[in-house]
Amino acid sequence: MATYSTTTRFATLDAFWVAVDQIQTTSTNEEWEKLAGYFADDAVLYVLGMSSPPVTGKAAAIESFKTLKTYWALVERRQRSQSLSADGKVAVVEMDNHLTIFGEHVEHFPETEVVEFDEAGKIASYRLYCDGTPLKEIAAKKMAAQ
């Protein structure tokens, strides 16, 4: 059984978020496949938070992130705390992120991600906990203005 250090797990998450930040809706299929490479084949991801249905598998993850990137951008990922389970499989990161949603800045957006890794070090489960109310308000304003 492989063992992973705290540094390895959090370095993987840091690299993943750099990749998410850099990818665009106009990115090539090869670039999207590179992002999908962070996930286990059967990964279950709550990309839009726990109040939205999960997506399962790499193809669904790509489609979910493509949709997300049409209105969402991570300006700064600010980690407040992080912890790793005793077996090294589950990482928890508390964040206070700076986002852009439909062109509007959200300076302080608290989120907590719970990420389970498989034996190969791939993301097997991604759960995002946040209060989506500020984002829904921005989306509602955007829709009302159209």
Q: What is the CATH number of the domain that holds 69?
A: 3.10.450.50
Name the domain count of the chain. 1
Interacting residues of 32 by C-beta distance below 8 A, sequence separation 6+: 23, 62, 65, 66
Q: Is there a domain that residue 1 lies in?
A: no
Residues forming beta bridges with residue 97, ordered by sequence position: 109
CA separation, residue 104 to residues 42, 60, 73, 97, 107 (Å): 34, 27, 10, 14, 10
One-letter identity of residue 17? W
| Averaged confidence pLDDT in the chain | 94
Confirm whether 17 is domain-assigned.
yes
CA distance 20 to 138: 22
Across residues 20-34, what is the average pLDDT? 96
Contact 82, 92 (CB under 8 A): yes
| Residue 84 CA: distances (Å) to CA of 8, 110, 138, 143 | 11, 19, 34, 40
Per-residue pLDDT tens over the stretch 53-104 = 999 999 999 999 999 999 999 999 999 999 999 999 999 999 999 999 999 9
Q: What domain range includes position 96?
A: 6-141
**Residue 94 is assigned to a structural domain of this protein:** yes
